[in-house]
Amino acid sequence: MSAPEPSKPLTGAALLEAVTDAIVALHLHHYGRAPAQAKTYLLQDELLACTLSGIYTQVEKTMIELQRADDVHATRHAFRDAVKKTYIDVVQQLTGRTVRASISNYHVGPDLAVELFLLEPAPAL
Amino acid sequence: MSPQNVPDGTGDGPPFECHWRAEGAGAASVQVSGEVDMLTAPQMNHVLRDACAQAPLVVLDLSAVSFIDSSGLHVLVDAAGRARESGTRMVMIGASRALEALLVLTGTQHLINALPSLSRHGVESLLQERASIQAPEAGFDPLANPVNASVLAGRVMAISDDRLWLHAPDGTILRAWAPYASGLPVPAGEWVEIYLDREGAVNGWRHAASGISINQRQLPPGAKPDTAAPLTCRGSCRVTWMAPAALQLTEHDERCLTCAGPLVRA
């Protein structure tokens, strides 16, 4: 599994698609399943947000049914923290911009995750 | 104050809670639950001030908020403005439809970074988007075959370890069968037509530019054949389909996915 490495930073729809593909590929690699849905937005040219739904594995779904969603999210946060460099590197490579900050957020009912990246301003042309 | 804005700290909803914590890389999250009203909004304001002072990126999660009144809205708008001025970015997620409506009603939605939610229903929303692609060629009418409940466009994703991954315009991700021996049969970024059944399962897909056409009906769940046999349509479209379960298709008298014509072994 891999996403193609662009020769130069992407912008516009190509960037949003590439980020979606990369984040979905990472999710598939780490959790063994692709999300049911994924979409990436760029807010005010500095906030890159990839929204995923249908993310949970069967084990996690069972834990959530057993009222253990907090444990599921704690594990997801711990894992995401351990691999945050991978996510940041991917976004920096695709955008050509430094990631100032990033964070993940997980939900149940609806089953959602958000990967957020705050980018340094684009270099002046 | 209108009746619906009367603080109701003793109501049936969950108790108000608001706290923040550092998370991710240089970021913070603020979790709010319960009712945000004139009694509790100051506490939310205090927490938002603390979080925004500590991190350049703050996620404000309102998914557990059961009620928010104008004092809560004022705190949100004020906090977003303060954050922006100080170089911090606050992103609101999980807002209820009532709060989204309140933001629109008060003309303040542009002041707050809010993430749109994906559809909760995934494939169901796809099925409602019937025939998002019009048949481009004479003789092609995928909905003539009753096994097709929906036809849509899908972008080939750059995920390649397990057949073909497709991305629909609403964000839905679909996995389709493809002869994968020599890599992706269609380049990443290309668009294909996808034919879905009533359950949202992929019947097949077609890349018009290259003519690659896959009919994956009758493929047993979990089966991962590497090859497919050709089936030619004797109807109006004359498409030759690559079918990983060709024998089962002919045994079940399945019809062509793009014109409902009869299929014969090529």
> What b/e string do you get for B196-219 counting C-beta neighbours within 10 Å, with b at 16 or more?
bbeebbbbbbbbbeeebbbbbbbb
> What's the pLDDT at A122?
82
Nearest by Cα to B18 from B50, B54, B56: B50
Predicted confidence at residue B9, as pLDDT, reads 47
Comparing CB atoms, the residue among A2, A46, A116 nearest residue B160 is A2
For residue B184, what pLDDT is reported?
72
**What confidence tier does B199 reach under pLDDT thresholds 50, 70, 90?**
very high
Model pLDDT, residue A21:
96
Tell me, yes or no, if the pTM score tops 0.95: no
* Residues of chain B neighbouring A77 (CB-CB closer than 8 A): 23
Of B115 and B92, which is predicted with more confidence? B92
pLDDT at B67: 92
pLDDT value at B158 more than 90: no
Q: Is A34 close to B165, i.e. CB distance below 8 A?
A: yes
Phi, psi angle pair for A62, to nearest 5°: -65, -45
Residue B122 has pLDDT above 70, yes or no: no
Least confident span in A50-59, A96-105, B102-111, B235-244: B102-111
Write out the DSSP string of B16-65. Answer: PEEEEEEETBTEEEEEEEEEESTTTHHHHHHHHHHHHHH-SEEEEEEEEE
State the number of CA atoms in the 13 A half-sphere of A52 facing the CB.
Answer: 24
pLDDT at residue B187 tops 70: yes
ipTM at complex level: 0.89
The model's confidence at residue B162, banded by pLDDT at 50, 70 and 90, is low
Residues of B in contact with A39 (CB under 8 A): 118, 170-171
Residue of B nearest to A88 (CA): B25
Of the given ranges (A68-77, B70-79, B157-166), which has the lowest mean pLDDT? B157-166
- pLDDT > 80? residue B104: yes
Neighbours of B253 (CB within 10 A): 8
pLDDT range class, residue B11, cuts 50, 70, 90: low
Q: Strands across the sheet with B113-114, in order?
A: B17-23, B27-36, B57-68, B89-93, B113-114
| B177 secondary structure, DSSP code | -
CB contact under 8 A, B155 and A51: no
The reported pLDDT for the residue numbered B257 is: 97
Return the pLDDT at B7.
38
Q: Which residues in chain A are closer than 8 Å to B61, comparing Cβ atoms?
A: 105, 107
Closest to B91 (Cβ–Cβ): which among A22, A53, A116? A116
CA distance B68 to B95: 10
Q: Is the pLDDT of residue B179 over 90?
A: no
- Cα separation, B86 vs A83, in Å, equals 29
Shortest Cα–Cα distance, B237 to chain A (Å): 32
Mean per-residue pLDDT over chain B, rounded:
86
CB contacts < 8 A, A to B, total 137
pLDDT-derived band at B225 (thresholds 50, 70, 90) equals confident
Of A19, A39, A104, which to mutate for an interface test with B (greatest number of B Cβ within 10 Å)? A39
Looking at residue B181, what is its pLDDT? 62
Q: Is residue B141 predicted with pLDDT exceeding 50? A: yes
pLDDT of residue A125: 65
Using 50, 70 and 90 to split pLDDT, how confident is the model at B121? very low
Six-digit token string for B50 = 């603390």
B55 neighbourhood in chain A, CB within 8 Å: 101
Residues B196-215 have a mean pLDDT of: 94
Alpha-carbon gap: B150 to the closest alpha carbon of chain A (Å) = 18
| Inter-chain touch B25–A102, beta carbons under 8 Å | yes
Confidence of residue B12 (pLDDT cuts 50, 70, 90): low
| 6-35 of A, contacting B, C-beta below 8 A | 17-18, 20-22, 24-25, 28, 34-35
Q: In B23-36, which positions are buried (b, 16+ CB within 10 angstroms) versus exposed (e)?
A: bbbbbbbbbbbbbb
Looking only at Cα atoms, what is the longest distance across chain B?
Answer: 76
Q: What is the mean pLDDT of residues A103-112?
A: 88
Rounded CA separation B38/A62 (Å): 39
Whether B24 sits inside 8 A of A34 (CB atoms) is no
pLDDT, one tens digit per residue, over A24-81 is 999 999 999 999 999 999 999 999 999 999 999 999 999 999 999 999 999 999 999 9
Contacts of A102 in chain B (CB under 8 A): 24-27, 57
Q: Where are the beta strands (DSSP E) in B94-228?
A: 113-114, 150-156, 164-167, 173-176, 191-196, 202-207, 212-215
Chain A CB within 8 Å of residue B3 CB: no
**Closest A-chain CA to B88:** A118
**Which chain B residues are closer than 8 Å to A54 by Cβ?**
122
Residue B76 CB coordination number (10 Å)? 28
Q: How would residue B92 be classed by pLDDT, with cut points 50, 70 and 90?
A: very high
- Dist CA A117 CA A46 (whole Å): 8
- Which residues of B fall within a CB distance of 8 Å from A81? 23-24
